[in-house]
């Protein structure tokens, strides 16, 4: 006999978005059923953001040690124990995991079911022999690594972000297919930890970012010793003994690359199979579940959030979406998403962070009726003191000073972008940033300096000089 569970909110998927909905709803007084067939914490904790940043931290530490002589500090040859590096990665996961454990959510008051969930109709889900009937459902099943249709791929072993953190031996030569954030971050991490690395990208690397800023990242990647092929088609893959061969077409020339390991970083695929979406009357397509501005599906009792919708695939977006769902589902407020101030960061060295419009997108909408403000890290005293002056900030405004977007490439760009995220979300004008007091010496001064550029043409104009001279004559 199936057990029937009646509840207020049924959440399918215990990644960052699903856990945020479940924790928020239950603590606000709702009855919540949380269903997860895999690991609690989802991709971000187990195979995504957390392990990748932990690995990058170790890699950057190795690189800093190699370059310490620029400060007159000589540490000697850098030795890397790759297995211990991975111990660090898994210790970070283990340290964060208790926040996402089943026991914690049960203690909060959730009913947690560790099983596969499938809609059996518009108002009910089956999981582990249970029938869950809820007033509202939230689908937060995330995404997984997409595997491209490359001939021969099925016959060679390869990594994705879901498996590479289980590797305990540094590759001799890691070939990365995909030049997006995941591909570049893992390429740089392994190169700094001692591997030879080649990156193959079908288009251009980091296509969603400002091209001027991407150039800074590209140049540094090449200078570091990573081989980069852009506008390159991967034609086939095969293995010959311990080596694998990747055949590409680049500039109309066929090139064979030999390596020891292969990483696929060619995008993500939403986890929508076997959910019974048709039975629930939920419209979906290859890219994900169709939603409206309130994150409702075509079945208005069902919401979908995070990667499964095929939208912006960031952990912080899943958390933001969770807040929208709670306002709609619990408080019946017609809250709608606003993605105009969504920041994103690629955690290479140098980091690249963006929020709002790039210069290109702003020009498409406003034409030449915009202002572009820049300031170089090389003009920042803290950057000079730390001998890391690569990069710059770019801010785009309207002619009246409303901030449309900002991008930063350089040291700690991900930390520095926050002030611009706030400014855009609150519809501030450039004067708010120009007028703030920035502590000296900090990298954060680049934001104030860039904002100050907006006033330079008028502040130091001949008209201003005439006014000053006139006022001074008055005594």
pLDDT over threshold 80, residue 2: no
Domain coordinates in residue numbering, the chain: 3-40+101-145+269-329, 153-266, 343-457
**Per residue in 187-227, pLDDT tens?**
999 999 999 999 999 999 999 999 999 999 999 999 999 99
- Would you say residue 1 has pLDDT above 80? no
At residue 21, the pLDDT reads: 97
**pLDDT given for residue 464 in this prediction:** 85
Averaged pLDDT score across all residues of the chain: 96
Contact indicator for 390, 375 with CB cutoff of 8 Å: no
How many residues comprise the chain? Answer: 475
Q: Is residue 281 over pLDDT 80? A: yes
Domain 153-266 identical in fold to domain 343-457 = no
pTM score: 0.95
Q: What is the mean pLDDT of residues 43-70?
A: 95
pLDDT tens-digit readout, 129-177 = 999 999 999 999 999 999 999 999 999 999 999 999 999 999 999 999 9
CATH 3.50.50.60 holds for 3-40+101-145+269-329:
yes
pLDDT tens digit sequence for 87-112? 999 999 999 999 999 999 999 999 99
Q: How many CA atoms lie within 13 A of 438 on its CB side?
A: 22
- Supply the pLDDT for residue 262: 98
Strand duo 173-177 + 196-200: pairing = parallel
What's the pLDDT at 427? Answer: 95
Q: Which two tokens stand for residue 396?
A: 């785009």
The CATH superfamily label for domain 343-457 reads FAD/NAD-linked reductase, C-terminal dimerisation domain (3.30.390.30)
pLDDT in tens, 62-91: 999 999 999 999 988 999 999 999 999 999
With a CB cutoff of 8 Å and minimum separation 6, the contacts of 21 are: 9, 11, 138, 140, 305, 322, 325, 326
The third-level CATH classification (topology) of the domain covering 153-266 is: FAD/NAD(P)-binding domain (3.50.50)
Write the CA distances from 152 to 175, 199, 432, integer angstroms. Answer: 15, 19, 56
What whole-number distance in Å separates Cα of residue 12 and Cα of residue 10? Answer: 7
403, pLDDT greater than 70: yes
């Amino acid at each position: 006999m199936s057990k029937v569970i009646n509840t207020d909110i049924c959440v399918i998927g215990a990644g960052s978005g699903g856990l945020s909905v479940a924790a928020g709803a239950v603590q606000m007084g709702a009855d919540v059923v949380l269903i997860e067939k895999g690991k609690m914490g989802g991709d971000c904790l187990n195979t995504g953001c957390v392990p990748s940043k932990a690995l990058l931290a170790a890699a950057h530490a190795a690189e800093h040690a190699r370059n310490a002589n620029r400060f007159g500090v000589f540490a000697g040859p850098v030795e890397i124990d790759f297995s211990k590096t991975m111990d660090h990665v898994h210790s970070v996961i283990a340290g964060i995991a208790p926040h996402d454990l089943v026991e914690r959510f049960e203690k909060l008051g959730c009913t947690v079911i560790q099983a596969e969930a499938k809609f059996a109709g518009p108002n009910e889900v089956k999981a582990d022999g249970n029938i869950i009937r809820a007033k509202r459902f939230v689908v937060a099943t995330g995404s997984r690594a997409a595997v491209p249709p490359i001939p021969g791929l099925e016959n060679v072993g390869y990594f994705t972000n879901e498996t590479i953190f289980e590797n305990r031996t540094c590759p001799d030569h890691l070939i990365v297919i995909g030049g997006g954030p995941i591909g570049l971050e893992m390429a740089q991490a392994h190169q700094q930890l001692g591997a030879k690395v080649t990156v193959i990208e079908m288009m251009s690397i980091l296509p969603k970012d400002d091209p001027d800023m991407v150039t800074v990242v590209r140049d540094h990647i090449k200078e570091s010793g990573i081989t980069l092929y852009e506008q390159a088609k991967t034609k086939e893959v095969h293995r010959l003994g311990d080596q694998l061969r990747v055949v590409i077409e680049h500039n109309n020339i066929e090139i064979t690359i030999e390596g020891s390991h292969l990483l696929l970083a060619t995008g993500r695929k939403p986890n929508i199979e076997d959910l019974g979406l048709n039975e629930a009357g939920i419209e979906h397509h290859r890219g994900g579940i169709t939603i409206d501005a309130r994150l409702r599906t075509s079945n208005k009792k069902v919401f979908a959030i995070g990667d499964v919708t095929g939208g912006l695939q960031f952990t912080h977006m899943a958390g933001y979406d969770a807040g929208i769902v709670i306002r709609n589902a619990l408080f019946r407020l017609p809250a709608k998403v606003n993605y105009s101030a969504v920041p994103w960061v690629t955690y290479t060295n140098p980091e690249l962070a963006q929020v709002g419009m790039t210069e290109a997108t702003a020009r498409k909408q406003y034409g030449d009726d915009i202002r572009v403000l820049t300031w170089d890290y090389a003009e920042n005293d803290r950057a000079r003191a730390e001998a890391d002056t690569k990069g710059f900030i770019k801010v785009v405004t309207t002619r009246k000073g409303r901030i449309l977007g900002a991008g930063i490439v350089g040291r700690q760009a991900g930390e520095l972008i926050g002030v611009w995220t706030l400014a855009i979300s609150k519809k501030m004008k450039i004067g708010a940033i120009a007028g703030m007091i920035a502590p000296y010496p900090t990298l954060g001064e680049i934001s104030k300096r860039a904002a100050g550029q907006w006033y330079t043409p008028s502040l130091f104009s001949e008209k201003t000089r005439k006014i000053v001279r006139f006022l001074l004559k008055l005594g």
